[in-house]
Amino acid sequence: MLGGIVADFARNPEIATLPDDVQRGVRLHRLIDGFTDRHAAVLRSITRVSPRLGWYSGIVIDIYYDHMLARNWERYSNEALRAFADRAHATLEEQFAVATPDAQHFIRRYIDNDDMFSYATAEGLERTLIRVSRTIAERIPKRPMWLPDSIPDLRAAEAELAADFHTFYPELQAFAAQQRAELLRPG
């Protein structure tokens, strides 16, 4: 679980210093990212949001798919979202010291804001889009983008985006299970 977060913040030399299970989590996260980035339903969803977003459309869809998952959690998990979020928070707290400094900053904010659970709400979606917009403005000041401007497009295409998500997510679950099994296979 920690590797899934560290993957977005650590470079390969840092990753090599992490415990084996965290390194496997990083590899799994990156495999999932690659699968997601090439999936036809995801690519279709990206075209459904405003063309003015350009490259940022992929970020918006990634966040919106998190929102869709949280809203439809019971369809994909036997564990309640609240119970899963609490378990994830506890796991991340236990492994906090192992995370890289940037990942630690993200984890602290993620837990304190209860982001996983709040993704299910329109307010949580908007807060995430605002936070990511601010991060983009800090990291890429010459190309800022106010992602909450995409909300009308997301609402207008909600039925189509939901259909894309529900096509994509079961395939992602199967892919992740297969990759996890391969990463845990001895030798």
Give the mean model confidence (pLDDT) for residues 127-136.
94
Q: What is the pLDDT of residues 75-89, one digit of tens each?
A: 999 999 999 999 999
State how far the Cα of 28 lies from the Cα of 170, in Å rounded to an integer.
17
Residue 187 is predicted with a pLDDT of 65
State how far the Cα of 9 lies from the Cα of 166, in Å rounded to an integer.
28
- Residue 154 tokens, joined: 């997301």
Question: 32 pLDDT exceeds 80?
Answer: yes
State how far the Cα of 176 lies from the Cα of 29, in Å rounded to an integer.
9
Rounded-to-10 torsion of CA 52, 56, 59, 64: -10
Q: What is the pTM of this model?
A: 0.93
State how far the Cα of 97 lies from the Cα of 118, in Å rounded to an integer.
25
Q: Is 12 exposed, middle or buried (0-12, 13-18, 19+ CB in 10 A)?
A: exposed
Residue 11 is predicted with a pLDDT of 86
Instruction: State the alpha helices, DSSP H only, in the chain.
Output: 2-6, 12-15, 20-38, 40-48, 56-71, 73-76, 81-94, 101-112, 115-118, 122-139, 151-156, 158-184
* Percent of the chain scoring above 90 in pLDDT: 88
Please say whether the beta carbons of 165 and 45 come within 8 A.
yes
Domain boundaries, the chain: 2-184
State how far the Cα of 92 lies from the Cα of 86, in Å rounded to an integer.
10
* Percent of the chain scoring above 70 in pLDDT: 99
State how far the Cα of 115 lies from the Cα of 97, in Å rounded to an integer.
20
Cα distance from N-terminal residue to C-terminal residue, the chain: 22
Question: Which residue is listed with tokens 């990942």?
Answer: 103
State how far the Cα of 3 lies from the Cα of 27, in Å rounded to an integer.
8
Q: What is the mean pLDDT of the chain?
A: 95
Question: 151 pLDDT exceeds 80?
Answer: yes
